[in-house]
């Protein structure tokens, strides 16, 4: 079996035509979805970038592998106290298991360099660092992937994982690509009234501060987003990046067609996480684990897969178990992942009763998602310990009919579900959320202190959270 996994960083499913978006951002991806399997409710267990891919490759929740943050000790995998000459976990990753079964595995990505995530290379036979630490554009990624495919596409068994970064901030599609959506209506939300309220809210990724921590915006990313015109430009920058990547996805398919193996290749389109585009007052952000960030696209296309739309709940890392299942490879007993249930020509579904998503890398939140009935839009209970000055309640229920609406009543079921998940965590694992809360690692603390100082210097001290006001008063 040949597997091409296309991993588009920060891609929201609801900005793709096949998920109902009105703009033509994704004609190539839409065609694959129309004749493939599309998952409607797939959620990353640990976000954003490094935690998500660590979970995908390991088939595990972050509390097992430990790489749940971007800074401090919890940016790294847990050390293995029982390690021998070789760390056995390196032999139980998705690419390692495929490689041991005779697959040639390639990673076309700068992800290991961007995050010092060297554990992600375990099991890959080939690694092509695309060179920009996540800032390289689609043509460079395509060129490196194309070079590998020209060498190996006609081999019998391979797995090629390709990461595109253009949809991640800052939005920087080349000017010569033009403005494909300049004359089209944009997203209906945030509307003018909601956006005006966001201009009065603080937060490290707020409309007035969304590019601050990264030194400003990009060629197609205004910073600050302080007018409706800039909001439109911001939305257009995101959508244009999606269309630009979609063009390069088509080029990869063209290469497989030229090599005579397109029909024999299992194609996967997914992302590590989505993006807040106004949700919680955040713009171009993946600080949280609400639906805008935790929900990811998941599309599989292959000659032996019957077209279907699966509307049950799935974890993103279930993809790893699905690929092993399709390849006839047994998954390790310590994996949390389980197959989607799409064995060739069956189209059966095996959804979950609930799914979990944690964000311990930027804010500190955990969410549980569940459905009232199979296929229904999921409820989301969101528990927040640190929202980086965004005015997020400590706990909230996100309205399934409108994911941008928060309720602070009717919380009991979500609270109970999350408490039970915590209780079911194996006793020999300490919840990394508790470690992150207890750890006073310098990068997180320094960034927050700088943002608090920014609010004070810009005359917005009155918007500080109660905790930050207390810290300032005692400093």
> If you ran DSSP here, which 8-state letter would residue 396 be given?
E
Alpha helices in 41-176 (DSSP H): 49-58, 62-65, 94-100, 111-115, 138-152
pLDDT band (50, 70, 90) for residue 438:
confident
Give pLDDT, residue 343: 65
pLDDT band (50, 70, 90) for residue 384:
very high
> If you ran DSSP here, which 8-state letter would residue 77 be given?
P
d(CA 12, CA 10): 6
**Full-model pTM:** 0.96
Return the sign of the alpha-carbon dihedral for residues 367, 368, 373, 375: positive
> If you ran DSSP here, which 8-state letter would residue 91 be given?
G
Closest CA to 392 of 366, 356, 429, 430: 366
Tokens of 434: 């508790």
d(CA 25, CA 105): 30
Give pLDDT, residue 355: 98
Q: What angle do CA 282, 370, 385 make, to 5 degrees?
A: 45
Lowest-pLDDT range, 38-52, 95-109, 245-259, 435-449? 435-449
Closest CA to 94 of 272, 317, 295: 317
Burial class (CB in 10 A: 0-12, 13-18, 19+), 109: buried
**Residue 143 clears pLDDT 90, i.e. is over it:** yes
Per-residue pLDDT tens over the stretch 294-348? 999 999 999 989 999 999 999 999 999 999 999 999 999 999 999 997 765 444 4
Give pLDDT, residue 199: 96
Give pLDDT, residue 417: 96
Q: Match 């603390």 to its residue by tokens.
A: 445
Calculate the CA 451 to chain-centre distance. Answer: 25
d(CA 365, CA 47): 10
Distances (CA, A) of 262 to 139, 247, 258, 259: 21, 17, 8, 8
> If you ran DSSP here, which 8-state letter would residue 159 be given?
E
């Amino acid at each position: 079996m040949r597997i091409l996994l296309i991993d588009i960083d920060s891609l929201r499913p609801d900005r793709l035509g096949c998920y109902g978006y009105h703009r033509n951002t994704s004609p190539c991806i839409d065609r694959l979805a129309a004749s493939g399997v599309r998952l409607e409710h797939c959620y990353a267990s640990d976000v954003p970038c490094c935690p998500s891919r660590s979970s995908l490759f390991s088939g595990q929740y972050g509390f097992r592998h430990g790489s749940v943050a971007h800074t401090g000790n919890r940016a790294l995998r847990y050390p293995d106290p029982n390690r021998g000459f070789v760390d056995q976990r390196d032999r139980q990753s998705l690419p390692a298991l495929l490689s041991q079964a005779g697959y040639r595995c390639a990673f076309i990505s700068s992800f290991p360099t961007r995050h010092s995530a060297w554990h992600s290379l375990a099991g890959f036979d080939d690694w092509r660092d695309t060179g920009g630490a996540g800032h390289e554009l689609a043509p460079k990624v395509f060129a490196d992937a194309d070079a590998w495919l020209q060498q190996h596409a006609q081999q019998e068994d391979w797995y090629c994982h390709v990461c595109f970064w253009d949809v991640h901030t800052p939005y920087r599609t080349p000017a010569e690509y033009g403005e494909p959506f300049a004359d089209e209506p944009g997203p209906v939300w945030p509307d003018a009234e909601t956006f005006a309220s966001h201009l009065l809210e603080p937060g490290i990724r707020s409309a007035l501060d969304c590019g601050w921590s990264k030194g400003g915006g990009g060629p197609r990313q205004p910073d600050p987003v302080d007018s409706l015109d800039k909001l439109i430009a911001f939305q257009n920058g995101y959508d244009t990046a999606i269309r630009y990547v979609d063009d390069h996805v088509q080029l990869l398919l063209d290469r497989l067609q030229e090599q005579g193996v397109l029909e024999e290749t299992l194609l996967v389109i997914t992302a590590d996480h989505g993006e807040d585009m106004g949700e919680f007052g955040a713009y171009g952000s993946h600080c949280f684990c609400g639906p805008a960030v935790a929900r990811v696209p998941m599309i599989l296309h292959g000659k032996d897969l019957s077209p279907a739309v699966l509307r049950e709940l799935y974890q993103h890392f279930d993809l790893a178990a699905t690929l092993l299942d399709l390849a006839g490879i047994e998954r390790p007993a310590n994996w949390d992942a389980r197959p989607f249930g799409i064995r060739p020509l069956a189209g059966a579904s095996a959804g979950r009763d609930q799914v979990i998503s944690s964000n311990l890398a930027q804010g500190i939140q955990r969410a549980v998602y569940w459905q009232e009935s199979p296929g229904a839009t999921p409820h989301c209970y969101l528990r927040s310990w640190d929202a980086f000055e965004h005015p997020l309640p400590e706990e909230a229920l996100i309205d399934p009919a409108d994911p941008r609406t928060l309720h602070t009543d009717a919380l009991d079921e979500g609270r109970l579900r999350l408490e039970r998940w915590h209780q079911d965590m194996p006793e020999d694992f300490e919840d990394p959320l508790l470690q992150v809360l207890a750890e006073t690692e310098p990068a997180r603390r320094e960034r927050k202190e700088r943002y608090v100082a920014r609010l004070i210097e810009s005359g917005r001290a009155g918007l500080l959270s109660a905790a930050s006001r207390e810290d300032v008063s005692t400093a």
